[in-house]
Amino acid sequence: MTALIEIKGVRHAYPTAAGPLPVLDGLELSVEEGGFCAVVGPSGCGKSTLTRLIAGLMRPDEGEVWLHGERVRGPRSTVGMAFQNPVLLEWRSILKNVMLPLEIVPNGLKGEAAKDRARHLLSLVGLEGFEDKRPSELSGGMRQRASLCRALVHQPEVLILDEPFGALDAFTREDLWQTMHDLKAKEPFTGVLITHDLRESIFLGDQVVVLSGRPARTQYVMTIDRSAPANLEELYTAEAAERLTILRHQIEIAQGRVPEEVAS
Ligand SMILES: Nc1ncnc2c1ncn2[C@@H]1O[C@H](COP(=O)(O)OP(=O)(O)OP(=O)(O)O)[C@@H](O)[C@H]1O
């Protein structure tokens, strides 16, 4: 396996009226091709900044970001993104919302091929029959499913998910977690998931990275074997409870609520 995403010694500070605000401090991250990395950390530690760096939407002050052996120096169409707010365009049908990236990326599918691709993805997430609806006619969970299809329609190398399930109720969220696993089995991608939900991180990730408080560095990395098909029942095992305890402890360290030596 080769690393598809490599982040090496990334440092970044935002200029503010009060002077530079250091956000990332020597961050290291490596995600293998086909891997799914869940990133957790205290609020405001720099998680979204990390996603913007991977997508090439900004460049770090120091350090390097590599995607598939190429240094990231600008925005890349080979990255798909989905956010907590699905931001679908109300004047377009669900099908046309999903097709949007194909109109923007160079060499995207056109015409019937584009429609077939969008329809295929919508059927994979259980939205067959909703292609002609407007976004406001769908529930929040359905809109988020459509947004996932839109993020994947141009077969991006990397799918970045920034708290995509954060605004959903607990049952819908768990449904979407299972949908993510089904999607990944049929539409393989390399994923980075930003989340505040530790259960989500261990259910979806094969790697969970805990960032320290701001300025963030990589504080702790947990790897999870994903060779067996995912099943929500696995969240109720002793192994899951142990993982959650470890991660909760790491978050407390990151928040400065527990000294590092107490946890180790
Ligand atoms: N463009 C900007 N200019 C100045 N400061 C910024 C900018 N973008 C983000 N920040 C600040 O940088 C810090 C990190 O922001 P970021 O959104 O990356 O954190 P986060 O971990 O994703 O936050 P949250 O967990 O609350 O979603 C925050 O203090 C934020 O206010």
Instruction: Say whether 69 sits in a helix, a strand or coil.
Output: coil
Cα radius of gyration (the chain): 19
For ligand 1, the distance from its centroid to the CA atom of residue 43, given in whole angstroms, is: 9
- Residues 208-216 have a mean pLDDT of 95
Predicted pLDDT at 77: 82
Query: What residue's CA is closest to ligand 1, atom 28?
Result: 44
Output the six-digit token pair for 177: 């977690």
CB-CB contact of 215 with 42 (8 Å): no
Confidence of residue 262 (pLDDT cuts 50, 70, 90): low
pLDDT tens digits for range 59-112: 999 999 999 999 999 888 888 888 888 889 999 999 999 999 999 887 778 889
Alpha carbons 180 and 198: distance in angstroms, whole number: 16
Give the DSSP letter of residue 96. H
Architecture of domain 1-74+203-264: 3-Layer(aba) Sandwich (3.40)
Predicted pLDDT at 260: 67
For ligand 1, the distance from its centroid to the CA atom of residue 209, given in whole angstroms, is: 18
Measuring CA to CA, how many Å separate 60 from each of 39, 44, 56, 77?
Answer: 18, 17, 10, 19
- Where helices occur in the chain by DSSP H, the ranges are 47-54, 94-104, 111-124, 140-152, 170-186, 198-204, 238-254, 260-263
Nearest Cα to Cα of residue 96 among 111, 83, 86: 111
For ligand 1, the distance from its centroid to the CA atom of residue 178, given in whole angstroms, is: 29
ipTM surpassing 0.90: yes
Q: Where are the domains of the chain?
A: 1-74+203-264
Question: Does 45 sit in the ligand 1 pocket, CB within 6 Å?
Answer: yes
- Residues 249-262 have a mean pLDDT of 83
The pTM (predicted TM-score) of the whole model is 0.93
